[in-house]
Every structure is written in C-alpha cells, then in structure tokens.
Structure 1
Amino acid sequence: MQPTPTPVFSPSVAQRFWPKVDKTDTCWLWTAHKGGGGYGRFKVEGRMVPAHRVAYELASGVIPDGFELDHLCRVRHCVNPAHLEPVTGRENTLRGQSPSAQHAIKTHCANGHPFNSSNTYLRPTGGRACRACRRAAVYAYKARKIASRALPRPAVS
C-alpha cells in the first residue's frame, strides 16, 4: 500500500485544477492555458506555475529539492502523475531531444575516432572534442603558417 501524499495545496486548488484535465486512455491532457513551450500553466496563490508540477504534487507530494519532472511520455501538456518522474536537471536534459542530449549519446567523433578517456578533450565550457582530430587540425594550421612564410613577398615599389 502506498503512503498517502502530504497535501501541498489546499483542497480548493484541486477542485479548480482537475476539471481542466482531459483524461485520455494514456495521457491526461491539460486543456487550459499553455505557455510558449507547450507546457500547461495554472495559477496558484497569484502566480502561474507549471500544471504538471501541480498535478504531481497533488497526487504524489512534494517534488524533492534539486529535482525537476521529466515527462516520460514526451507530451509537454500531459499532467498524468504516472508519466512524470523526478530527476536531476542533467538527467532530464540527457533524456530529451536537445542538441546537448544528441551529442552526449555519440560514441565517436565525425571522423570515426572513439570518444574514450584517452582520446577525449573536455573543453572548459563543458563540451568535448576528439584529441586526434584536434591534433590534426593544429598540425594542418602550423603547416599552412609555415607555407605562407616561405612564399616570396611581392616587391614594394
């Protein structure tokens, strides 16, 4: 038996919230206001908050500090608590479809070199680069610089 969640919101919040939800066979779709990113928005105590957070807290209790909710179904306006999982911001980003997530799953660079501990340079900005490709780029740059110095300069009249 699951423990009863500690009430986070007053009963009046739940009475206003649930009528704005269309419970389909899979997702529970938010039918009221949606923000620019497609996430549902709901007014609580004078401020707009993400609807999926309200749904989760009504059903499951407080979201742990340092965690955000990941939509397992990938439907941004879904408020089904069974489709929401508290995860760290990093985990949520890596589970998504963002460029950061796409690059994180790569195991080899564009030229086929493996991203492993001996061949991966971690940039100060948090990105990564292939040491073999970087070495080749530096070598090519130096070769161009040397070649440009060897060219005869036009005579100045």
Structure 2
Amino acid sequence: MDNKTFIMQRLDKKQSGCWEWKLYRDPDGYGRFTRPKISPMAHRAAYIILIGEIPAGFDVDHKCWNPACCNPEHLRLLISSENRSRQRSSLQSRCKHGHEMKGDNVAIYANGRKACKTCVNQRVRNYSARKKERAA
C-alpha cells in the first residue's frame, strides 16, 4: 500500500472540513503512528505526502486549530519560532478542538477546571443520540 492510500484510509472527513486522524492520538490530540521513513505525527506525514517536504526550521501549523486534522487545506508552514509563539498565545484562549475559550463558551466548575461549552454540548448530543439508538 502506498503512503497516500495509507494516510487517506485513516482519516475521517468531518462537516467542518477537517480530516481527523482516526487512530491513536496523543494527550494533546495530535494523531500519531509509526510508518518507516515518515513522521510519527499524522499531520506532518499528511503534509509531506500530500503537499511536499517540510523545509528545515519550519513547522506544520493547523489553521483550523484542530490538532487531529490532516486536511492539506487546513495545514500551512510556519517558521518554528512563530508557531511556538502562536501556540503559547492560544493556550488560554482555545480548547483542544480549536473553539474559543472566552465569554459564554467557558464553563468553570467548582474545582476550578474550565471546559469548552461547545465541546460539552457536542458530547451531550452524541451521548443522547447513542442512547436513542440503543433504545430503538
């Protein structure tokens, strides 16, 4: 199996336009795998296979803020220092799925933990749909 087929068979194309990695994700949400001569990070491998090489000193950045996304239209090259600066500034302002964490979109629990309301609502909808399917 060629590398392009290998990658494409492991992606879930979402309505948002993101192509999410279906297999293992690390705690930060990045797709990971092992394949000889390819980056262990799915989005970097997708970039190399679908677009081309990554020049030294550059990182592959997610324009969509979704670390599991491998859609080449959502990926871009940034100078490593610029990418790290962008990551630091976003740590407080976005959830791991890229939703803004401010205003009415933030739930703060009694223990001080913050949660993205968009993500919480999506989990509730998914749970309700699964529960409804089982009851049918």
Match of 1:24 in 2: 14
**RMSD over equivalenced CA pairs, Å:** 2.0
Q: Does 1:45 align with 2:24?
A: no
Distance 2:38 2:76 in 1: 24
TM-score, with structure 1 as normaliser: 0.51
Q: Does 1:35 align with 2:23?
A: no
* 1:1-157 alignment, distance < 5 Å: 12-25=2-15, 26-45=17-36, 49-96=40-87, 98=88, 101=89
CA 1:84–1:30: 2 relative to 1, 3 Å: same
- Identity across matched positions, percent: 35
CA 1:85–1:46: 2 relative to 1, 3 Å: closer
**Alpha-carbon deviations, 1:32-61, whole Å to 9, x = none?**
111122100121118861000111111111
Structure 1 alignment gaps of length 5 or more: 1-10, 103-157
Structure 2 alignment gaps of length 5 or more: 91-136
Where in structure 1 do 4 or more consecutive aligned residues deviate above 3 Å?
Answer: none
- Bigger-Rg structure (1/2): 1
CA 1:64–1:82: 2 relative to 1, 3 Å: same
TM-score, with structure 2 as normaliser: 0.59
Aligned length: 89
